[in-house]
């Protein structure tokens, strides 16, 4: 069999590692690479600059190329380029989580129409193999729950806030200096990056089409050092969790900070490490963890996808049937609104110390039929205020919102300083 020919779009950190890794595989040839600046010096030994172009459509139009590898990120022009590639009958490998979350449905439909495959292992959890295992080894399972840490930046920040007793702002600055956080970290710290990944992961795991706009997301910017301290006292760690459950097609899907019990594996996934826990039948519970980002880790998944195509290319006229989209017939799933979800809650109430204050607070909870599991009154400050920490039993989100309103209206509390759901 002749070599498969690769057109590469993007030669940043990941693209460079993909290029270097593919040199070890003689049956794969990179014919051209699209970059923004063809004159930029590349830190690649014996690099052939003649294969660079600043016109990515030229990579798509090259009739030699069998596979297009897209590593540029973002929606535009990636969407237009991959649409063109698929229409020309080319297979696609991508690490673009945002593109798949927002336009995966149309791209997979177009791919099937043109008898091509889209592989995207690197788009979910970097170097952790998760998509192919779900579609192959775990194919016999009905997966009903996902709990995952899918963003290394936020996990690094939360771990350092815990270990070093530092504030969010201080640790964010450190993460930016080390290259773990972007100059504009919004996508990471506001939960968008994890929500992009969870959209596609849940769609595959549950075999139901999930729309990105229906995925609730909340970031870590409101987490205070006090919350991390109290979490430890109560036997928890705070993590940004990508969470989804599927109950007969009713899907609860969201990304937000959670108290995770120290008894659970996810509580001990620290720094930039990622992890995905799946629950289902007959497997029970399984956790896969490893590097969720970085050039080498992501290149591992990208090159694995390329080699999966290479090994079947030319052997059949319908390659990798198990890896193709097979859930479009399910239509759009029913998403449970965040207000209707049920959780246990950690609440940190900032109160004025007065006789009967706690009694008034507990009476308000009782009026909503919300049971309190734990209540702790912390030390009184010089301004005669104190924090009261409450852990509730499971209740609906909308009741917690009503409780906050009533407590503020009644003057029982000065503010609800923190509200964090408990896994």
Q: Which residues are annotated as catalytic?
A: 197
Query: Which secondary structure element, helix H or strand E, spans residue 367, and what is its range?
Result: helix 357-367
| Pairwise CA distance, residues 314 & 67, whole Å | 13
Distances (CA, A) of 357 to 349, 366, 367, 389, 406: 11, 14, 16, 13, 14
List, in order, residues 6 or more apart from 191 with CB less than 8 Å away: 151, 154, 217, 218, 219, 220, 240, 255, 256
111 and 325 Cβ atoms separated by less than 8 Å: yes
Beta bridge partners of 133: none
Beta bridge partners of 195: none
| Pairwise CA distance, residues 280 & 266, whole Å | 17
| Pairwise CA distance, residues 276 & 134, whole Å | 12
Question: Which residue, among 335, 337, 410, 406, has the nearest Cα to 370 in the 3D structure?
Answer: 406
Residue 282: asked if its preceding bond is cis (omega within 30°), the reply is yes
| Pairwise CA distance, residues 347 & 377, whole Å | 12
Place of tokens 């959670």: 258
Question: Judging by DSSP bridges, how do beta strands 415-422 and 4-9 pair with one another?
Answer: unpaired
Q: Is 45 exposed, middle or buried (0-12, 13-18, 19+ CB in 10 A)?
A: exposed
Specify the DSSP class assigned to residue 252: E
293 and 180 Cβ atoms separated by less than 8 Å: no
403 and 362 Cβ atoms separated by less than 8 Å: no
Question: Judging by DSSP bridges, how do beta strands 334-335 and 273-281 pair with one another?
Answer: unpaired
408 and 415 Cβ atoms separated by less than 8 Å: yes
Token pair for 417: 């300083």
| Pairwise CA distance, residues 372 & 299, whole Å | 48
For the chain, how many residues are written? 423
Residue 329's SS3 state is: helix
CA-based Rg of the chain, rounded to a whole angstrom?
A: 24
């Amino acid at each position: 069999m002749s070599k498969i020919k690769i057109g590469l779009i993007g030669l940043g950190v990941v693209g460079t590692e993909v290029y270097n890794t593919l040199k070890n595989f003689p049956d794969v040839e990179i014919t051209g690479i699209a970059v923004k600046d063809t004159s930029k010096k590349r830190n690649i030994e014996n690099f052939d600059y003649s294969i660079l172009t600043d016109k990515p459509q030229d990579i798509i139009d090259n009739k030699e190329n069998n596979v297009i590898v897209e590593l540029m990120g973002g929606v535009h022009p990636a969407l237009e380029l991959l649409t063109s590639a698929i229409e020309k009958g080319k297979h696609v490998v991508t690490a673009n989580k945002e593109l798949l979350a927002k336009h995966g449905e149309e791209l997979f439909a177009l791919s099937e129409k043109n008898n091509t495959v889209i592989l995207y292992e690197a788009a979910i959890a970097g170097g952790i193999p998760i998509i192919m295992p779900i579609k192959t080894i775990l194919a016999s399972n009905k997966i009903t729950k996902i709990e995952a840490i899918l963003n290394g930046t936020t996990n690094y920040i939360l771990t350092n806030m815990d270990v070093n007793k530092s504030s969010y702002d201080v640790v964010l600055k450190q993460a930016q200096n080390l290259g773990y956080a972007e100059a504009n970290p919004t996508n990471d710290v506001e939960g968008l990056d994890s929500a992009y990944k969870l959209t596609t992961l849940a769609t595959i795991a549950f075999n139901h089409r999930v729309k990105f706009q229906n995925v609730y997301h909340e970031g870590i910017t409101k987490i205070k050092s006090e919350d991390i301290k109290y979490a430890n006292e109560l036997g928890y760690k705070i993590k940004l969790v990508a969470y989804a459950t599927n109950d007969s097609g009713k899907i609860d899907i969201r990304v937000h900070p959670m108290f995770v019990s120290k008894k659970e594996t996810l509580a001990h996934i620290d720094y930039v490490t990622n992890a995905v826990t799946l629950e289902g039948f007959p497997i029970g519970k399984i956790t896969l963890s490893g590097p969720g980002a970085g050039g080498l880790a992501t290149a591992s998944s990208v090159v694995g996808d390329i080699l999966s195509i290479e090994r079947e290319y030319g052997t059949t006229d319908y390659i990798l049937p198990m890896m193709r989209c097979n859930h479009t017939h399910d239509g759009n799933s029913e998403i449970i609104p965040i207000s209707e979800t049920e959780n246990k809650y950690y609440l940190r109430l900032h109160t004025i110390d007065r006789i009967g204050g706690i009694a008034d607070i507990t009476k308000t909870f009782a009026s909503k039929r919300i049971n309190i599991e734990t209540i702790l009154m912390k030390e009184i400050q010089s301004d005669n205020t104190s924090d009261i920490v409450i852990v509730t039993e499971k209740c609906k989100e909308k009741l917690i919102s009503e409780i906050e309103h009533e407590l503020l209206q009644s003057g029982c509390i000065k503010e609800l300083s923190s509200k964090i759901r408990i896994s």
